[in-house]
Amino acid sequence: MYPLFMRKWIAYPLVFFLSAFVFALLQPWGMFVDPDAFYHAKITTLMMASGALHAFPWLDLTTLGTHFADHHYLFHVGLMPFLRFFGTLPGIQIAAVTFGALFMVALYAVLNALKIERPWFWLFAALTQTSLLFRLSLGKASPWALIFFVIGLAAVALRKPILGAIIGALFALSHGGWEILLGAQGLYVAGELLFLRSVERRSWKESFLCSGVFAFFATIIGCVVGIVLHPNFPDNIAFLWVQIVKIGVLTPMGRVRMGDEWLSTDIPSMVASFGFLLVASLGALYGMLFARKPDLDRPRAKQIMGWAFVFAALFVLTLKSRRMVEYLVPVAILWVSSLWTLVDVERLWQELRVQKKLLGVFAVLIFGMMIRAYHVTYTGLRADADRYDADAKLAQTIAEHTEPGERVFHTRFDEFPELFYHLDRQKYVVGLDPTFLLEKDPARSDALQKMTDERDVEKITQTVREQFDARLILVSSWDPKEFLEALATSTQLNLLYKDERNVLYEMR
């Protein structure tokens, strides 16, 4: 008999409510640490009022003005009930808790489908991963992407082409990260084929039939279908080219100021963020050395080879861009949990009982990692977070000094979401990602990037007027001190608004 909490009829609701409880405790109610949440809230309210957006006039200087695509379309549709019943911004946070919990349910379902032993243990591992908890709590589309990601990986591991096609279509309609799923699936299949050819010595035909290659191609077809069915087709083709190639692959860090999530990470930081999973992987290594099962489970070994390929690639990509850690963690869980299936746990437990000191060390490490994960996530979600109304007075001042359709000049792309949320009658310079401006007009993009290095206010105002067609200049406390001082002491500007973060000027 299974314990009550492991029975299917109660396990999945229990996973959902346990995970929702954790995410609710971590959620910084009443504020957002990532401004993109304001963007998602605004887009959803506009869609609720008039349907899917087919233009984006607020950023007409960028490629989004002519080739806009709501690459989070289904995610925004999914947000609608939350915003309708709980209010716009509170609804975003309640949705973040709900979608984060649904991801944990999806992960638990995948672990069960793959017949991973002790799935509750690995669910606990996922709920103690700092980087994953943080990304899932931002009020962004990450939970949706990861739900499709883990189910899509299960589709190739279990050789389910119909499931792969469905997931591909839904992913392409919901999030711009569907290409990461395709890359991960391709690597997984490559690992399987390598095992089948080199270890089991099977023919190419047998190898293809015994791998997830057909599910992989079905997912590609599903993604194509999703792209074509998207309400912004065919404009989404040009958008995806910029997003996938220009931003995701080339990532012009030296040319524009990218978001922090695109910054590289280092191995010590990555190791620290993995915490519990690192301890689990060390335990698997110890188990395979001293308590490995006598008979090799070849189907499981084939999966392990596939997960290893995906993990290695995502590890390298995470070193390049820290945002990739949200994909790395689930793959790490699938890989390490598969490794544990090769270990005779009862025999290992007997071994550890003899090595009581080693068992104590593992227990202390696990407890310490768990406490650290929740502390770091809780404080990180509140550090530099913005209240709902943080920019409300700034937006009111802008509205009082501009006409509808007039442009506001601002130096940083991450100021756009909050301004857009509070004030949608005006136009802005850059938003979502600075590469969209670089792609549309490299000269104008370069002028924006060089702006904060300028000290001659006359040149600054001339550039703002002639290249950006604006009268109001919004600067941030994060801009260079010398640049801010030049503006503050100039007689060519009138100060309209100032707070601890923003300063708004009007050119005379």
pLDDT of residue 286: 83
The string of pLDDT tens digits covering residues 369-410 is 778 888 889 999 998 899 999 999 999 999 999 999 999 999
Long-range Cβ pairs for the range 237-242 (8 Å, 24+) = 238/63, 238/67, 239/63, 239/64, 239/67, 239/68, 239/69, 239/71, 240/69, 240/71, 240/176, 242/63, 242/67, 242/435, 242/436, 242/439
Distance CA 290, CA 288 (A): 6
pLDDT of residue 422: 95
- Residue bearing the bigger pLDDT, 90 or 371: 90
Average per-residue pLDDT for the chain: 91
Tell me what percent of the residues of the chain surpass a pLDDT of 90.
71
pLDDT of residue 174: 96
Cβ atoms of 407 and 426 within 8 Å: the answer is yes
* Mean pLDDT value across residues 163-181: 96
The SS3 call for residue 212 is coil
Residues with Cβ within 8 Å of residue 88, at least 6 apart in sequence: 41, 44, 45
* Mean pLDDT value across residues 410-438: 94
Phi-psi category of 118—alpha, beta or left, where left has phi over 0 and alpha has psi -120 to 50?
left
The SS3 call for residue 130 is helix
pLDDT of residue 1: 41
Kindly report which listed range (49-53, 328-332, 353-357) carries the lowest average pLDDT score: 353-357
Distance CA 244, CA 223 (A): 14
- Residue bearing the bigger pLDDT, 309 or 259: 309
Give the pLDDT band of residue 7 (cuts 50, 70, 90): low
Instruction: Give which of 164, 174, 131 is closest to 315, Cα–Cα.
Output: 131
Kindly report which listed range (181-185, 230-234, 265-269, 479-483) carries the lowest average pLDDT score: 265-269
Distance CA 30, CA 274 (A): 28
Distance CA 236, CA 231 (A): 9
Model confidence at 218: pLDDT above 50? yes
pLDDT of residue 368: 78
Number of Cβ atoms within 10 Å of the Cβ of 450: 10
The full set of domain ranges for the chain reads 4-32+69-380, 389-507
pLDDT of residue 355: 65
* Mean pLDDT value across residues 467-495: 94
Give the pLDDT band of residue 270 (cuts 50, 70, 90): confident
DSSP letter string, 355-410: SHHHHHHHHHHHHHHHHHHHHHHHHHTTTTPEETTTTHHHHHHHHHTS-TT-EEEE
Alpha helices per DSSP H over 341-355: 345-354
Give the pLDDT band of residue 8 (cuts 50, 70, 90): low
* Mean pLDDT value across residues 484-501: 94
Kindly report which listed range (92-96, 156-160, 274-278, 338-342) carries the lowest average pLDDT score: 274-278
Distance CA 275, CA 368 (A): 9
Number of Cβ atoms within 10 Å of the Cβ of 267: 10
Model confidence at 418: pLDDT above 70? yes
The string of pLDDT tens digits covering residues 176-208 is 999 999 999 999 999 999 999 999 999 999 999
CA–CA–CA angle 47, 85, 37 (5° rounding): 55
Edge-to-edge strands, sheet with 493-498: 407-410, 470-476, 502-507, 493-498
E strand or H helix that includes residue 504:
strand 502-507
pLDDT of residue 12: 93
Beta-bridge partners for 32 = 386
